[in-house]
A and B are shown apart, each in its own frame.
Chain A
Amino acid sequence: MREIKIVDALNEAIREEMLRDENVFCMGEDIGAKGGIFSVTKGLLDEFGAKRVRNTPISENAFTTAAVSMACNGGLRPIVEIMYEDFIGVCWDAIGNQAPKIRYMANGAYEMPIVFRMQGGAGFGEGAQHSQSWENLFCHIPGLIVMMPSTPYDAKGLMKTAIRSNDPVVFIEPCTLYNSKGEVPEEEYLIPIGKADVKREGKDITVVALGQECANALEAAEILAKEGISLEVIDPRTLLPLDFDTVKKSVLKTGRLMVSHVAVKNSGYGAEVAARIVEDKEAFAALKTPVCRVCAVFTPVPYSPVLEKAHFPQVEDIVEAARAMMK
């Protein structure tokens, strides 16, 4: 099967959906001629024109909320690029307040077919205000769907599902993985909302890993396999709603749970996964060790590459945490 990068998988997904439905269109800063700062929308302006690939002024506050209305009032299916996840501070009315509430307040009178795309994670020395991972803020909001792929296959299938969904989707693209390659079939496929994927089967420790940390966990699993420690690596893919059944099934088998993400540990997604497991009688009874979170330390993201590395969880951190769990 052919192998392509995540960035190209996303581009294909958007292009295919734009061909399929003329109400699908893209908007955001620098997404036109430049194709977005990570080139996810490259070539789309030439193919579809400025009506459907619309550069916006630097007005995130208004254009994100305008897009909400294009979706729920206007019957369009906007794909809105927010250049950095950090910028959601000025988009929060749209994402936290409008998109997830309008259907509910109107007792189901509206649909909300909108995708907010944004890159998350960090590792390129962009400093504290261009490096944040705020997935858990979105996961706190009833009414949102939150997706974060870690492979090209998942990126394409989830993006197509997100665009066709009638619920607002926050789609987080791990920026460190844009150029990572993987198998993607030529023929069309979709990935359902709320379905996790077991990326590697194992018997000793269940590792629920998000985005970049899923890639790290798979690397750690190779190292640990040589020591006789077997990791089962699960990528939830859809963070909200979480495919709890898949996580629980794995924990019942392994008796150990580790959660890893590049967001800081405090009140992070790992806390939710851990709480769901310990709230569940069967899963709690199956635990042989305390749950373990391998996440970023509780500081802003520093600029220096040395400090940045110290901030984010590395492959070695997962390896060491796994060894400790098995002692």
Chain B
Amino acid sequence: MINDELLQKMYEQMIFIRKFETKALEGMRRGKVFGSLHTGVGQEGAQVGVANALEPDDWAFLSHREHGVLLCRGLDPKPFMAELYARKTGTFAGKSGSVHIADLEHGCRGSCAILGGTSALATGAAFANKYKGEKRATIVMFGEGSSNEGYVYESMNLASIWEVPLVFVLMNNKYAISTPIWTTTKTTTFTDRAKAFQIPSATANGMDPVEVYEKMKAALDYVRTGQGPYFLEVNTYRYNPHSGSDNQFLYRTQEEVNWWKQKDPIAAVERLLVDKDLLDADKIKEINKKYDDIVGEAVEYANSSPDPDLDEVFTHVYSSEVTL
């Protein structure tokens, strides 16, 4: 069982993530954030459960919707927001944006456009760690939509035969942009697919961070034994549209979204903490203010930062050894 301290930490992290992403979306509406921004509002319970189960030295390969994991693992919200704002002071100086952001210092090793490919990147990283005798575990978070890419199954097969310490974390939020999962597969649980590769598996309720944390811990314990990969399917739901700009009510109803909001992970943990006398109205207010301030400062930092210098367009195409 997890202790009260961790429960309080996860509660605060969920509030932090939701406020950060909500502000980032606002930035997009104001024309400050460009391209696509995929928020995970509703999925914070799954994110904090996964992130807190990791050891600091473990590596996480993420999807485009896992800003929350980056925040949990320690990415400073100021350069993070500045990256979304495409500023010189951003994590990657305005060259990655939301989709390709990473944080090598805290073991977040990036995400990519072909979503199934992240599984291959994670498999390769886990292989390299094993090759070099490193003890760390690796995880990859990906969606049920990209789970219909052959890329994922080739990767699961490689991870299985190479017996690498890797946890496949499938975040099943039911929709691939607008396409519901029940129209693209007859699978009702993706753990069936893991069985095909002799990969042990479990499912977790993603609206319950405690359950996710415990199942993730067990998954990591397993892969650290060196017996090979593990597969965890986390059932969750995003409340927002796919990205900053689509109309979600073309493909699902407000009633459906409301039904999931009744299961909101922040509200659920809040009730739990209140029941345990670990939280009251004043404390809730205080925590909300704390993260309003932190996120507000990040927005201010991003907004007041300069654009990248124009000659940066040419830097880091190649290593320093190559001149064109």
For the complex, give the distance between the alpha carbons of A312 and B80 in Å.
53
Given contacts A51-B131, A74-B129, contact A145 B316 (CB under 8 A): no
Which residue of chain B has the shortest Cβ distance to A27 in the bound complex? B127
Of A59, A74, A112, A165, which one neighbours B125 at CB under 8 angstroms? A74
CA distance A193 to B320 in the complex (A): 12
CB distance from A103 to the nearest CB of B (A): 5
Closest chain-B Cβ to A14's Cβ sits at a distance in Å of 17
A59 with B316, Cβ < 8 A, contacts A66-B121, A105-B100 known: no
Residues 107-136 of chain B: 1 if any A CB is under 8 Å from the residue's CB, otherwise 0? 001101110010111111101110110000
Instruction: Give chain A nearest CB distance to B164 CB in angstroms.
Output: 10
Known contacts being A62-B120, A73-B121, is A93 close to B114, with CB within 8 Å?
A: yes
A69-B122, A69-B123, A167-B322 known; A62 vs B95 contact (CB < 8 Å)? no
Asked if B92 is at the interface (CB within 8 A of a chain A CB), the reply is yes
Q: How far is the CA of A70 from the CA of B109 in the complex (A)?
A: 12
Q: A197 in the interface, Cβ–Cβ < 8 Å?
A: no
Q: Which of chain A's residues has its CB closest to B100's CB?
A: A105
Q: Mark B34-50, 1 if CB is under 8 A from A, else 0.
A: 00000000000000000
Interfacial chain A residues near B124, Cβ < 8 Å: 65-70, 73-74
User: A109 to chain B: which residues have CB within 8 Å?
Assistant: 92, 102, 104
Once the chains are docked, how many angstroms separate the CA of A68 from the CA of B109? 13
Q: Is the CB of B150 within 8 A of A61?
A: yes
Are the CB atoms of B316 and A76 closer together than 8 Å?
no
Q: Is the Cβ of A106 less than 8 Å from the Cβ of B110?
A: yes
- B interface bracket (residues with beta carbon within 8 Å of A): 35 or more
B11 to chain A, nearest CB (A): 32
Among A63, A74, A76, A102, the residue within 8 A (CB) of B154 is A63
Knowing A73-B128, A98-B112 touch, does A62 contact B123 (C-beta < 8 A)?
Answer: yes
Q: CB-CB < 8 A to A61: which residues of B? A: 120, 150-151, 154
Cβ of A73: which chain B residues have Cβ within 8 Å of it? 59, 109, 121, 124-125, 128
Say yes or no for B310: interface residue by CB 8 A criterion.
no
Q: Which residues of B contact A165 (CB under 8 A)?
A: 319, 321-322
Shortest CB-to-CB span from B92 to chain A, Å, is 4
Distance in angstroms from A24 CB to nearest chain B CB is 11
Q: Does B324 contact A (CB under 8 A)?
A: yes
Chain A residues with Cβ below 8 Å from B158 are: 56-57, 59, 62-63, 66
Check if B127 sits within 8 Å of A68, measured CB to CB.
Answer: no
A25 neighbours in B (Cβ, 8 Å): 131
A63 to B114, CA, bound (A): 15
A75, CB-defined interface residue at 8 Å = yes
User: Within 8 Å CB of A48, what residues of B?
Assistant: none
Q: Which residues of B contact A126 (CB under 8 A)?
A: none
B157 within 8 A of A: yes
Complex CA–CA separation, A63 to B157 (angstroms)? 10
B128–A97 touching, CB < 8 Å: no
Chain A, 89-132, CB within 8 A of any chain B CB: 93-94, 97-98, 102-109, 111-112
A105 to chain B, nearest CB (A): 4
Cross-chain contact A105 with B122 (CB below 8 angstroms) = no
Contact B100–A106 (Cβ < 8 Å): yes
Chain A 1-25 per-residue mask, 1 if CB under 8 angstroms from chain B, else 0: 0000000000000000000000101
- With a cutoff of 8 Å between Cβ atoms, the chain A residues found around residue B117 in the complex are 65, 93, 97-98
Q: How many residues of chain A get a CB closer than 8 Å to chain B's CBs?
A: 42
Distance in angstroms between the alpha carbons of A261 and B239 in the assembled complex: 55
State the CA gap A109–B112 with chains docked (Å). Answer: 16
Counting CB contacts under 8 A, is A142 at the interface? yes
Tell me how far the C-beta of B168 lies from the nearest C-beta in chain A, rounded to whole angstroms.
Answer: 13
A59 near B157: Cβ-Cβ < 8 Å: yes
Interface flag for B205 (CB, 8 Å): no
* CB proximity of B113 to chain A, nearest CB, Å: 7
Q: Mark A197-241, 1 if CB is under 8 A from B, else 0.
A: 000000000000000000000000000000000000000000001
The answer to whether residues A66 and B120 also contact, given A107-B92, A107-B93 and a CB cut-off of 8 A, is yes
B138-176 contact mask (Cβ, 8 Å, vs A): 1 or 0: 000000000000110011011001000000000000000
Whose C-beta in chain A lies nearest to the C-beta of B134? Answer: A74
- Complex: A67 Cα to B117 Cα, angstroms: 12
A103 proximity list for chain B (CB < 8 A): 316-319
Q: Which of B119, B122, B154, B321 contacts A167 (CB 8 A)?
A: B321
**Shortest Cβ distance from A66 into B: residue:** B124
A109 to B93, CA, bound (A): 11
A298→B317 CA distance, assembly (Å): 33
The answer for the CA separation of A32 and B321 in the assembled complex, in Å, is 32
**Once the chains bind, are B100 and A66 in contact (CB under 8 Å)?**
no
A73-B121, A93-B114 known; A66 and B131 CB under 8 Å? Answer: no
Inter-chain CA distance A74–B129, complex, in Å, is 6
Is there an interface contact between A194 and B322, defined as CB atoms closer than 8 Å?
Answer: yes
Would you give 17 A-B contacts (Cβ < 8 Å), ordered by A?
A62-B120, A63-B154, A63-B158, A65-B120, A69-B128, A74-B129, A76-B128, A76-B132, A98-B117, A103-B316, A107-B92, A107-B95, A107-B96, A143-B318, A165-B322, A193-B321, A193-B322
Shortest Cβ-Cβ A-B pairs, 3 listed: A74-B128, A69-B124, A66-B124
